[in-house]
Structure 1
């Protein structure tokens, strides 16, 4: 009754404002539901059951990229932090601590994450950050991809233009620059496809993550100072480079880059460890008068679209007798000449009869070397030899800032990294040498009157141990 009397006492303008406010709240709720409908409809158990409607939904639902978090995890991350129980925080700590993007953070920071992180979902073509706006959040990409673009004033055309800087995928972080330096957003970030994010608000960032992120930036600057390419860069250019830089670690025998994998739009700078360039060649062997003849197949039936898995398996089987000493500053010293292993694949891909894939180690990139500036990666992969760390920068950014420097490096790499034709020539020479050695051994063994004064006591002790020729 009191509520009805209060409504009657309202003026027409106040009633109108209340009605508008109610409609706006309703629309906001509907938009919120629509925005979260994608992950809210996820099914935790997709096994078929007796429920016909559920089975139809499971069989007909469009399959998207599998989320890292479960529906329960996302629900907890949408819950206000002050309402999360200790048990829920412990669960989130275990889940979040295992995510690759948080492994680099110290334990005390990981303990704080369950109390400051929230979940969000955006459909394709949604603007997450806008250049020139006040910073509010730091974002971590869980699934999907975003495009980073910048608007600048072109003095020649006397107008504003927008350029695409790079594409970022799962595991990458953005939005920390403006928060760290308390400046306006330096770029616009837009979703390319439906994407999931974790985000942390500005106050929580300043309290929990700011010191850690600042130390990581300082580490990137230190790494850049070791490379002579950046010694004449201004503080502003160094800061811009730190914004775009990404540091990645690779395990031994892990593929770093190929024609179909890795960050193909980035230049790699080796800050720790060592990696090598391998080429896989499809070679057809034919025999004439008992002698083998080899022909390089440039366009085999089974082409470049499916070598990654096979290459990875075979790389793990190749011997890794690399020098443990590295740290050479010059590129010439950080590239080794071609090593023609001429070793056929242990699990060859038979494209047709007598056709096999051979793997050859081409050269090695050591600490302070760089690659993927523009050299060809056709039928080639770059693989970590030991625990390796690389600093990645967008290629377009480096060419724009120091075109002459990196064009020179690109020409150097193209000149000194052997071509496929040269590698195949070395392959043929080694095959001929193997045939000559085998023929020489057979010739000596075939001699009827082979005279020798050697016996077990004339063989050096070390060789006797290695060959197990007997005891002294």
Structure 2
């Protein structure tokens, strides 16, 4: 009886082992399928060794690395030759995710770093587990979440805390603080990761990261907005934030760039000037110059739809619910059934006038979503800014009391709008015209009077003038 029971247990164990091996084989096929997708069908034959050689020799690029570079990263460190390490070191010098580390550290990483590929929906790190490696994102998106107690339903919910995108890293907190995993990291898309083990992290990356984290914490403590943050929030901010330096007259943000929609800027040193561009149409009426402020450029498709809606009987109601920007664009464009753009009148000319509106000094913050139409932020001198991702800053935990919306409202009220600046532009223009008129009238009455004599001119000026150019 006992032998029969042991036989059944052994049979069950073999079945379970076969199932595990089959699952492992499926995962291996999925990973290799990613590699085979780079190879044309006619290059794959029945010879497995030849197929592997074709894949290794293939230099096609998918993502930031070629297949040959990925093959080198998948090799054990002791099998990488000096030529292969030099090739990886050259690639690592260009990777954005390693930009915070000095060149000699990147060369050392070429000897020990590994490559990992995960398809969408895979869990890379699990909260509470022991840490064995940290990762750099080469391609794809990683969602970061944490189990949070829900007092209403009396359970733990997996709450999203952010996203890791190419150029960022994750998994280093456990090494720096000597604790288990604090977050769960899963792949939102197909991801390519650069992997560094615990021993290599402690030996190569930890000194640089600790120094950078201490500087970042000092920068965070300089702003009273973060006084209520706990240790986890400061730790997360140190991971996501970065400090950038800008040279004098270098543009920091502008309307046509996407940077302003990604980061909020906290000025650590220097001054930034707010530069407003006014697009005005000038038209001559007799001898007088007349100016008209150009409306903001509206989406062409949205404008065409609005033109068709304005032909309806209830056009007044539709107009009342339109945005001010769309109404201004609609007023500037004559209603026509033709799809082509109306040509501007020939007597009107477009002019661009730039105005220095104000300055952001040390301790200021901008880039919170305030009005930036035709506006740029330019460094007035050497500027150092701490940049924090806006999507993370506006999350509930970092936005207690809607503090960032209130700061944004304060900035919108303190900085003049385009319409206010245009009115000031007309006032200054009328003053210049009036001053010129008064001066010309005075000259007509008394004539030009110049009582300067030769003896009134300094001797050095007369010598230089008499000598003349050689």
- TM-score, normalization: structure 1? 0.69
Which residue in 1 is equivalent to 2:30? 31
Q: Are positions 1:220 and 2:216 aligned together?
A: yes
Q: Are positions 1:362 and 2:360 aligned together?
A: no
Alpha-carbon distance change, 101 to 240 in structure 1, aligned in 2, over 3 angstroms: closer
CA contact (8 A) 1:138 1:176 kept: yes
Q: Which moved more, 1:201-210 or 1:134-143?
A: 134-143
Q: How far apart in 1 are the matches of 2:422 and 2:448?
A: 38
Alpha-carbon distance change, 470 to 91 in structure 1, aligned in 2, over 3 angstroms: farther
Which residue in 1 is equivalent to 2:85? 89
Alpha-carbon distance change, 259 to 423 in structure 1, aligned in 2, over 3 angstroms: same
- 1:30-83 residue CA offsets vs partner (Å, 9 max, x unmatched): 122124445x459xxxxxxxxxxxxxxxxxxxxxx9733333323322222221
Q: Are positions 1:171 and 2:167 aligned together?
A: yes
1:391 maps to which of 387, 391, 400:
387
Once the 2 structures are TM-superposed, how far is the Cα of residue 418 of structure 1 from its aligned partner? 1.6
Q: Which runs of 5+ in 2 are unaligned?
A: 1-9, 41-60, 303-341
Q: How far apart in 1 are the matches of 2:86 and 2:225?
A: 46
- 1:350-393 residue CA offsets vs partner (Å, 9 max, x unmatched): 98452344433322222221113342233333344445332315
Which residue in 1 is equivalent to 2:338? none
Q: How far apart in 2 are the matches of 1:19 and 1:236?
A: 43
- 1:139-187 residue CA offsets vs partner (Å, 9 max, x unmatched): 2222333333333223355444444433443212222212321323333
Which residue in 2 is equivalent to 1:58? none
1:106 maps to which of 99, 102, 124:
102
Which SS does the other structure have where 1:410 is aligned? helix
Once the 2 structures are TM-superposed, how far is the Cα of residue 263 of structure 1 from its aligned partner? 5.5
Q: Are positions 1:261 and 2:255 aligned together?
A: no
Aligned residues: 394
Which one has a bigger Cα radius of gyration? 2
Which residue in 1 is equivalent to 2:370? 375
Q: How far apart in 2 are the matches of 1:82 and 1:436?
A: 82
Q: How far apart in 1 are the matches of 2:216 and 2:108?
A: 24
Q: Which moved more, 1:381-390 or 1:174-183?
A: 381-390
Q: How far apart in 1 are the matches of 2:287 and 2:431?
A: 17
Q: How far apart in 1 are the matches of 2:187 and 2:445?
A: 76
Q: How far apart in 2 are the matches of 1:284 and 1:25?
A: 69
Which residue in 1 is equivalent to 2:289? 292
Q: How does 1:14-53 map to 2 (within 5 A)?
A: 23-24=22-23, 26-37=25-36, 40-41=38-39
* RMSD of aligned alpha carbons: 4.0
Q: Which moved more, 1:172-181 or 1:393-402?
A: 393-402
CA contact (8 A) 1:282 1:300 kept: no
CA contact (8 A) 2:265 2:385 kept: no
